[in-house]
A and B are shown apart, each in its own frame.
Chain A
Amino acid sequence: AQKVTQAQTEISVVEKEDVTLDCVYETRDTTYYLFWYKQPPSGELVFLIRRNSFDEQNEISGRYSWNFQKSTSSFNFTITASQVVDSAVYFCALSEEALISSGSARQLTFGSGTQLTVLP
């Protein structure tokens, strides 16, 4: 069974600080996908990044960066120079193939989320 653990329930930082959100996953598949989503106070889910299990290259997008390490089954997310607008709940998710009654399908498993509060 797949599992995603976000051990940090809540994090609070002051604006301009760097912050890292941790994500640890468990899977038996060799082919899987990892995601990060942002859920601002308005409630919608905003897709941030997808990574497949064969691509361990770290990625940077503006102030966001992601560190994928298969050896430790982690996919951590760092926000550099945080801003008040970064305040949100952040979810890590894992997608792997799952057997179902009609064959197989990919299913998405979410972590419990990390509430990030950036104080001015």
Chain B
Amino acid sequence: NAGVTQTPKFQVLKTGQSMTLQCAQDMNHEYMSWYRQDPGMGLRLIHYSVGAGITDQGEVPNGYNVSRSTTEDFPLRLLSAAPSQTSVYFCASSPGDRVYEQYFGPGTRLTVT
């Protein structure tokens, strides 16, 4: 199993550009989530999904969109990047009956200039 994979590893965007951060897992986990990590603030939940076709907002959802068309993939879209979205983004997944057992991806470091 590859576990949770994220692409790209690094990305630089200009303000106003859009892009999609990819996240995939091959463990057939129902629960997937996106976090952002900022200095001194720990990880904060952006969006999450409890299964294909079901998504919901976390603590800091503004400026981000998600969709979950398959169990494996949970992409995070930035519609119009802003410097405030410069951060490290982590994707995580967990089994539906053991949501406390989270597996994290390696992270994507995004810089918006």
* A112 x B40 contact (CB < 8 A): yes
Tell me if A57 is interfacial: C-beta within 8 Å of chain B: no
Contact of A105 among B50, B88, B102, B109 (CB under 8 A): B50
Given contacts A33-B100, A50-B101, contact A107 B45 (CB under 8 A): yes
Interface residues on chain B, size class: 20 to 34
Interface size class of A (residues with CB under 8 A): 20 to 34
Min distance, Cβ A22 to any Cβ of chain B, angstroms: 14
Are the CB atoms of A95 and B100 closer together than 8 Å?
yes
Q: What is the predominant secondary structure among interface residues of chain A facing chain B? A: strand
**Which B-chain residue is minimally distant from A1 (CB atoms)?**
B59
In the complex, which residue of chain B has the Cβ closest to the Cβ of A102?
Answer: B54
Q: Give the nearest-CB partner of A106 in chain B.
A: B99
Closest CB-CB distance, B66 to chain A, in whole Å?
Answer: 14
Residues of B within 8 A of A105 (CB): 31, 48, 50, 56, 99
For window 19-61 of A, CB contacts with B under 8 Å fall at: 33, 35, 43-45, 47, 50, 52
A44 x B107 contact (CB < 8 A): yes
- Select one of A4, A103, A107 contacting B58, CB under 8 A: A107
A93 to B33, CA, bound (A): 15
A91's partner among B42, B102, B109 (CB-CB below 8 A) is B42
Contacts of A95 in B (CB 8 A): 99-100
